[in-house]
Amino acid sequence: MTTLFASLRIALRALLVNKMRSALTMLGIIIGVGAVIAMIAVGSGAKKRIADQIASMGSNILIVVSGSSTSGGLRVGAGTVPTLTVEDSKAILSEIPGVRSVAPHLSGIAQVIYGNQNWSTVIYGTIPELLEIREWSLNSGRSFIQQDLDGAGKVCILGKTVADNLFGGIDPIGQIVRIKKVPFTVIGVLNPKGQSTWGTDQDDTVFVPLSTAQKRLFGQKFPGMVRVITVQAREPEVMKTVEDQITDLLRQRHRIQPGQDNDFSVRNLTEVASSAEESAKVMSLLLGAIASISLIVGGIGIMNIMLVSVTERTREIGIRIAVGAKGKDILLQFLIESLVLSLVGGILGIGVGIAGTLILSSFTQWPTLFSVQAILLAFLFSGSVGVFFGFYPARKASLLNPIEALRYE
């Protein structure tokens, strides 16, 4: 203990004598650790944003999209012609045990008018289950009730963006808006949901009852049809099974012969999100590789300067060995010196990393997230760089021949 404390004092003194040299040596570690901190902050910020977006879509979601129908040699792409029905969605819910909830919907772009304000947006005709699946709550007002759904009620729920643009500061509840010349009473306003994974504003939307959309807005050409059915599975493990069962069920219901193409497609949204997550991971790995390289370069810098230091202080080492320093005393002295170099560099690097990340995110608006574990990890990593790269010079010092060391000029 006594020797450890004495070694620490000796190391600090030796480093303070060559302030400029110590600072330059630390620079490699400072940059390396700073990069690690920034990398983890940016990486976990991106990961968190993706996780939030996945959560905003709701969990365990499958989307069944209608389309690709072939009629009389005319082939039509997915989603353009509704081939799904409300009955399909009911069958999915009742016949596939892994399904928790379904929500058929029909959508289209239309202009919404309030007074002298207008706003073009996506109108969804759906049932309240869609909002439940997407875990989307109302900010004010109420959701659709059975009466609205059965009677094609002329009511609507506004997304935050639409409400803000049409109404400004006024409370929209109870006001009348017109969509395709049909007057609708605003019964609710949704909480904001932010950007989707592919960058669209999810709040720029209006919901109306499915029956209303079918009868009064978009469904006149294809009565009773829906474009999309959103399906929520009970748990992530059954997603694949449910996907296959939906395909089988719908092929059967649509009487599609073996060998014929589906007139619908089933998409797994979690997969889309996880591929986004995958690319964020690759980004993190890349930054991590850069950070590790600069830490290694920093470590080599420490090793280099420690070797110089050992050579410069050969005589001092000789004196110490002559008066009774053992190998481990000398080893410890130089190891502590490189450890102090790398740890001080590490602490400064953490500061630089945090400052750099804050500056970066203020310029680029990237989401960033600091974690105590990452900072601790960077600190420990810089320490181990010091020990690893300091060991060889320290060992070299501890093995010096005292006679030669004392004679060294």
Partner 1 sequence: MLNQKIKYSMDPLIQVRDLVKVYHLGEVEVQALLGISLSIERGEFVAIMGASGSGKSTFMNILGFLDRPTRGQYLLDGIEGEHLSRDELAEIRNEKIGFVFQGFNLLNRTSAIENVQLPLIYAQLPSKKRKEMAEKALSAVGLKERSHHHPAQLSGGEQQRVAIARALVNQPSILLADEPTGNLDSKTSGEIMAIFKRLNQEMGITIVMITHEQDIAAYGKRKILFKDGKVVEDHNSAL
Question: Phi and psi for 370 in degrees, rounded to 5?
Answer: -90, 145
CB of 12 to partner 1, least distance (A): 12
253/315 with CB nearer partner 1: 315
Question: Phi and psi for 259 in degrees, rounded to 5?
Answer: 90, -15
5/363 with CB nearer partner 1: 5
Report the alpha-carbon angle 265-271-277, nearest 5. 150
CB of 371 to partner 1, least distance (A): 41
Q: In this structure, are residues 359 and 303 in contact, taking their beta carbons and an 8 Å threshold?
A: no
Return the residue matching tokens 């959103």.
230
Return the residue matching tokens 């050579």.
311
**How many angstroms from the chain centroid is the CA of residue 382?**
27
Q: How far apart are CA 345 and CA 23, in angstroms?
A: 8
199: which 2 tokens?
A: 């960058």
CB of 322 to partner 1, least distance (A): 5
Residues 36, 39, 42, 46, Cα dihedral to 10°: -120
121/398 with CB nearer partner 1: 398
What ranges in 58-159 are assigned the alpha helix state H? 86-95, 129-133, 146-150
**How many angstroms from the chain centroid is the CA of residue 326?**
53
**How many angstroms from the chain centroid is the CA of residue 304?**
40
316/337 with CB nearer partner 1: 316
CB of 323 to partner 1, least distance (A): 4
Q: In this structure, are residues 40 and 283 in contact, taking their beta carbons and an 8 Å threshold?
A: no
> What are the residues whose beta carbons fall under 8 Å from the beta carbon of 275, sequence distance 6 or more?
none
36/400 with CB nearer partner 1: 400
CB of 408 to partner 1, least distance (A): 11
9/75 with CB nearer partner 1: 9
Q: How far apart are CA 14 and CA 5, in angstroms?
A: 14
Beta bridge partners of 118: 113
Binding site for partner 1 (CB under 8 A): 2-3, 6, 13, 17, 315-316, 318-329, 402-403, 406
CB of 21 to partner 1, least distance (A): 15
CB of 319 to partner 1, least distance (A): 5
75/328 with CB nearer partner 1: 328
Return the residue matching tokens 């009774």.
324
CB of 351 to partner 1, least distance (A): 29
CB of 4 to partner 1, least distance (A): 10
17/74 with CB nearer partner 1: 17
235/312 with CB nearer partner 1: 312
Report the alpha-carbon angle 168-169-172, nearest 5. 80
Q: In this structure, are residues 35 and 296 in contact, taking their beta carbons and an 8 Å threshold?
A: no
